[in-house]
Amino acid sequence: MDTSDPSRPGAEATPAEPSAEAPAQAPAQAPSEVSAEPPAETPAPRRRPRGLTTLIVACAALVGVVGGTATGYAIQAEREPTPLPPLSQADLAYPKKALPESKRPAPLPAKHDTAVKANGDLRKLLVGKPKGFREATGYFVNGVGVEDGWLSPGGRSLEYTEPGEVLVDSVRNGIRRVAAANWQRGEYEYVAVRLVQFRPGAVAEAQAEAESSRRDAANRTRSGHEEGREVKAGSGAGFFVYEPDSKPGYLTVYGGRAVGYRGDVMFDLHFSDTKPLSEKAIKDLALKQLERL
């Protein structure tokens, strides 16, 4: 008996299973109006390219400068040239004929020509040995001995605290030769003479070397006399007396120096003793050396 029929009395109602082919439920309410086309977009504002204003201003300035320059040249070209002021000196006058031999001036005597004197034996221009002195083997602690009145540029450089630098500077400045003499009196009194000759050139190297030596001497001079004293007025030569060198356990050393030049030759005189030096003796010997040059 089929008990699933709900029409029968006393039968219990059994829920029916949904149909597998039942259509999906439609939406409760459809929109009243559907737009067929999307809404139109508002176009963005167009921007001016960056730097355009600056480029316009720069072009205008360039056009103005070029135009102004061209206009100035055009105006100047149409003007009459301004005449230059007359020269202060008239044309140089030359004699039509050279002077005859009988009227030409005599050449400068060799005794008055410093170049002729210096080109000979430089040792002959060394000042004479002072009275009471004898030949000495050396003067400077690190120096070398004088050989037959000559001293090499390298040997001269060893007499300085920085020989390498002195030698390089001397060669660069055109050093030619060095005449030298060392003298001694008693046990501790010494005198050294150096005549340094340079090659002729556009620069007065002998003068420059003398001025450099004077600055070195001034650094050792006693207080109040740093400028030195003149050997002869207007000669450019000077002499210096050093501050005494006193060290515990050693004798006090008194030193002095005289420097000058004539032409391409620089003279350099050194003095040393364990007693105070005579300024008059230094000046007199320096003056004699200056006169020999």
Edge-to-edge strands, sheet with 189-198: 134-135, 175-185, 189-198, 265-273, 254-262, 238-241, 229-230
CATH number listed for the domain at residues 110-292: 3.40.1000
- State the alpha helices, DSSP H only, in 106-236: 114-118, 153-157, 163-172, 205-220
Query: Phi and psi at residue 114, in whole multiples of 5°?
Result: -65, -30
What's the pTM?
A: 0.61
Q: Helix, strand or coil for residue 187?
A: coil
pLDDT by residue (tens digit) across 76-115? Answer: 888 888 888 777 666 677 777 888 888 888 887 777 776 7
Please name the residues in contact with 15: beta carbons below 8 A apart, sequence gap of 6 or more: none
Residues in the chain, overall count: 293
pLDDT per residue as tens, the chain (293 positions): 444 444 444 444 444 444 444 444 444 444 444 455 555 566 666 665 666 778 888 888 889 888 889 888 888 888 888 888 777 666 677 777 888 888 888 887 777 776 777 788 999 999 999 999 999 987 777 788 899 999 999 999 999 989 999 999 999 999 999 999 999 999 999 999 999 999 887 568 888 888 888 888 888 876 666 677 889 988 889 999 999 999 999 999 999 999 999 989 999 999 999 999 999 999 999 999 999 98
Domain boundary assignment for the chain: 110-292
The answer to whether 194 and 160 have CB atoms below 8 angstroms apart is no
User: Token match 């050997």: residue?
Assistant: 231
What count of other Cβ atoms lies within 10 Å of the Cβ of residue 90?
7
